[in-house]
Structure 1
Amino acid sequence: MIWQFALRYFRARKSTSAINIIAWVSVGAIAVGTAALIIVLSVFNGFTGLVKSLYSSFYPTLKVVPATGKTLLLTDSQLKAIAATPGVAYLSRSIEEKAVLRNGNEQTIAVLKGVDSGFTKVAGVQDKIVRGKFDLGRDLGYLAVIGLGIESALGVDVEHSQVPVNVYIPRRDASFNPGMPEQSINNGVIYPAGTFAIQQEFDARYVLVDINFMRTLLDMAPGEISALEIEVEPGASDGKVKRRLQELLGEGVKVQTRMEQNVTVYNVMQTEKWVTYVFLSFILVIAAFNMIGSLSMLVIEKQKDITILKAMGGRNSLIQRIFLSEGLIIAGAGSIIGFTLAVTICLLQQHFGLIKLGGGSFLIDAFPVEMHLQDFVLVSLTILVIGVLASWYPASRAARQEITLKAT
């Protein structure tokens, strides 16, 4: 009965047309706020998904790193135990160190990452090659795959000439001697064979080489590595596999998920998303003021109905619930319209890329969009809370109204 009264009041023609207009303005404001929230949150989801896909090309699903220091030592038996852990699909050992690269008169500082043959199973750099080929062979000398920024800084041409690039790395546990600096530095030669382009963070920083080249250059012991990179099986839980590996290897190492490897980037993106959500929610707050005005005028309009209901034995709680329901109908109608509008716009953007990104240096042409169910739930709860709060005062006022029956 409560919802019947509320629907009747919402649809009925009022004696003053301004009440109808304000009610529909409230519906429209909620619809616009709802659509804006869903669309913006979906765009943030799209950019987050894009960043994750780019990072997955270089960073593994899980990474085992030393808890302290720069290297860890894993025996063959430990590697076999890790490979046999449920959920683990592939392993790849890596050694990283900063180095100075020199090609003729050009030089730059880069991070040399030595990887083994399993690297292509845990990362996707081989799919991001823009020139040359992914080859770290060592038949005629150690080959390398370099980032696009490194290629530009060194002025090398990986497609038309194999120019040797000199590598200089400080010796481990060696003090620097100004008189004979060469005694404090190990050097080697690599031949760039391919160039990858993922994003500037990787392109201007990393050079991939064979792990044996790095082990020789750094005088590292067999089995000594900087990190162990792991790809999990499809459908396996990253968190569960992480916990199993942490229990297996103990406190001497840290097992990091892809998010933990890039925690700053993900935290910034999540913070931006929630700040945007808070600011856009003010659109719904403004719509709530329209609801308060609309319901207050409706209470005045329906004074006679309220009096009759009370005279027939209706309690104050009944009257209050009727007008609370009226407010929820206004909020619900606006949210349904807003959701429909947002889904339509997001689908059009996904299929046709209506809104383009400015400039021509982006990896994609149009704004990426991903709709997540949790965003719809969050916005629905936000509208519910705002709708109840906005309806509470007019509904309470209607419930407190005194019976004023007049004799005729």
Structure 2
Amino acid sequence: MNFPFYIARRYLFSKKSTHAINVISGISVVGVAVATMALVVTLSVFNGFHDLVASLFTSFDPQLKVTPAVGKTAPADDPVLTEIRRLPQVEVATETVEDMALAIYGERQAMIMLKGVDDNFDSLTHIREILVGDGTYELRAANLSYGIPGIRLAEMLGTGYCYQHPMRIYAPKREGQLNMANPQDGFVEDELFSPGVLFNVKQAKYDKNYVLTNIAFARSIFGQQGMLSALELRLRPGSDFEAVKSEIKRIAGEKYVVRDRFEQQEDTFRIMKIEKLIAYIFLTFILVVACFNIIGSLSMLMIDKKNDVVTLRNLGADDRQIIRIFLFEGRLISAMGAMVGIVLGLLFCWLQQTYGLVGLGRSSGSFVVDAYPVSVHPDDVAVIFVTVLAVGFVAVWYPVRYFAKRII
């Protein structure tokens, strides 16, 4: 057995001549454990919000989205897109056309993002699961085009779940010059009728701005016949997602951009990652402060064990081995605090997942969830454990060597 480690372990659990040393050592372990638990819980809460937001976007965003690298639209019959559609791993492929338009209902109006989709859009996404109202999912019937607005957009326009009058949609003409004497001639106008439902993604980006309709209506009002804004894909169950994505990127080349769900909402998830990183950095600073207790404990232990040091030297131990004893002592305190903190943090996360102990306050009923969501990621736990050990090692290395030269 490693001699310095063996002695350090005996010192950690043995009684000292001064009871205060045991108390300070216990406080050191508790301090490291609390900081470690805070790291586990905080990062798990950030993971919980990340997974929650990702699940909300899943209802509206496709698994993969292929968009033109240059310009807003591309020919729907492009051979590159045709090759992508024919991949055996692609189960559903939907053409979409979307652009800005003006929606007017009664005396109210709003700038919207009009998204036209194929009839199989409900097979591509979970759109049916986020509909509210007494109607059904329907985008057209005979010569009528239906429009399904987001729930917050419907509130802004005052349409209700089922608007009684058609919603007028205006989009600028792609060709010709605007006649200032009669500006209305510069716009294409059409009407959308209500299928009796709204969609509720629970994300303002969609609920406040989007209107969903059939692709023929969107192509007509935007003057984009035979064009598409994006090719949206869903893969067959069991497909190797990363391998298929790489293959599609290879086929698309530099002509098209291929994005998965996280890349489609890159700004949102980047902000969440930055927030998580900042929280990790701040809590690590708190951990550093907690490690100062270890320094106090070790300095008192060195004073207490002066006679033992003389005995160890008589037995043949050199200064390097003696210093390593106290370094191991500090590392053992850090490791014990890390393990206790991780266990307590995981226990708290389990209780929060199971019972929702910590709610979102008085406004909890107005949020998607009533309690803070948590999601424990094993890689985060591993990073936390390594961080605690590293901080503990760095925190005690210089002080131990400094005090050893003056006390031992």
TM-score, L = length of structure 1 = 0.93
What secondary structure does 1:363 align onto? Answer: coil
* Mapped pair 1:364 → 2:366: no
String of CA shifts for 1:107-133, please: whole Å, max 9, x gaps.
222111000022223322221011132
Once the two structures are overlaid, the 10-residue window that deviates more, 71-80 or 321-330, is 71-80
Which residue pairs with 1:392 in the alignment? Answer: 397
Please give the secondary structure, in 2, of the residue aligned with 1:101: strand
What SS is found at the alignment partner of 1:192? coil
2:149 pairs with one of 146, 149, 154: 146
Q: For 2:120 and 2:87, locate their aligned partners in 1 and report how far apart those are by CA, in whole Å.
A: 17
| 1:330 and 2:333 are equivalent in the alignment | yes
Q: 1:102 & 1:363 partners in 2: Cα distance?
A: 29
Contact 1:320–1:398 (Cα < 8 Å) also in 2:
no
Correspondence for 1:202:
206
| Aligned position for 2:357 | 354
Match of 1:315 among 315, 318, 323: 318
* Deviation sequence 1:9-61 (CA, Å, 0-9, x none): 01111111111111111001001000011001000000011111111112212
- The CA RMSD measured in Å over matched residues stands at 1.9
Matched, 1:217 2:221: yes
Percent of counterpart pairs with the same letter? Answer: 38
Instruction: State the match for 1:264 in structure 2.
Output: 267
Tell me if the contact between 2:303 and 2:407 (Cα under 8 Å) persists in the aligned partners.
no
Partner deviation per Cα, 1:239-295 (whole Å, 9 max, x = no partner)? 433321122122121112222222111111111111111111122111211101101
Residue of structure 1 aligned with 2:47, choices 45, 48, 53: 45
Alignment equivalent of 2:109, drawn from 107, 132, 135: 107
1:123 corresponds to: 125
2:290 to 287, 290, 297: 287
Equivalent residues in 2 for 1:166-315 (5 A)? Answer: 166-193=168-195, 194-198=197-201, 199-222=203-226, 224-315=227-318
Q: Deviations over 1:55-83 (max 9, x none)?
A: 11122121111111110113275444212
Stretch of structure 1 that moved more, 88-97 or 289-298: 88-97
Stretch moving more, 387-396 or 296-305: 387-396
Q: What amino acid is the match of 2:354?
A: H
* Amino acid of the structure 1 residue aligned with 2:366: S
Match of 1:83 among 85, 88, 96: 85
- Seen in structure 2, the aligned counterparts of structure 1 residues 154 and 390 have a Cα distance that, compared at 3 Å, is closer
Q: Which residue of 2 aligns with 1:375?
A: 380
For 1:289 and 1:402, locate their aligned partners in 2 and report how far apart those are by CA, in whole Å.
19
**Cα distance in 2, alignment partners of residues 46 and 38 from structure 1:** 12
- Corresponding letter in the other structure for 2:283: L
What is the deviation of 1:176? 1.6
Task: Tell me which of 68, 72, 75 is aligned to 2:74.
Answer: 72
Give the length in aligned residue pairs.
Answer: 401
SS at match of 1:391: helix
Deviation string, structure 1 residues 194-244 (Cα, Å, up to 9, x no partner): 10111222111000000011112222232x101111123345454433321
Alignment-mate amino acid for residue 284 of structure 2:
S
SS at match of 2:102: strand
Partner of 1:406: none
Give the whole-Å Cα distance in 1 for the aligned partners of 2:88 and 2:326.
Answer: 57
Please give the secondary structure, in 1, of the residue aligned with 2:357: coil
Cross-structure match for 2:22: 20
Change (3 A) 1:399 1:87: farther
Deviates further, 4-13 or 102-111: 102-111
- Could you tell me whether the CA contact under 8 Å between 1:57 and 1:125 is conserved in 2? yes
Q: 1:174 to 1:70 in 2, by over 3 A?
A: farther
The 2-side partners of 1:237 and 1:73 are apart by: 28
Q: Report the AA paired with residue 249 of structure 1.
A: A
* Secondary structure in 2 matching 1:187: strand
Aligned amino acid, residue 220 of structure 2 = T
Q: Aligned partners of 1:71 and 1:38: how far apart in 2?
A: 45
Q: Distance in 1 between matches of 2:403 and 2:191?
A: 85
Q: Which moved more, 1:97-106 or 1:342-351?
A: 97-106
The residue aligned with 2:160 is: 157
Secondary structure of 2:53's aligned partner: helix
The aligned amino acid for 1:47 is F
Change (3 A) 1:38 1:381: same
Shifted more, 71-80 versus 128-137: the winner is 71-80
Whichever residue aligns with residue 2 of structure 1, its letter is P
Q: 1:66 to 1:27 in 2, by over 3 A?
A: same
Q: Report the more deviating stretch, 169-178 or 371-380.
A: 169-178
More deviation, 35-44/4-13: 4-13
Equivalent residue in structure 1 for 2:34, among 17, 32, 35:
32
Deviation at 1:103, TM superposition (A): 1.9
Q: d(CA) in 2 for partners of 1:330 and 1:235?
A: 46
C-alpha contact 2:49 2:373 (8 A) present in aligned 1 = yes
Moved more, 109-118 or 122-131: 122-131
| Counterparts of 2:90 and 2:380, CA distance in 1 | 32
- 2:112 counterpart letter in structure 1: A
How far the C-alpha of 1:181 sits from its partner, in A, is 2.1
1:3 alignment partner AA: F
Q: 1:238–1:257: 8 Å Cα contact kept in structure 2? A: no
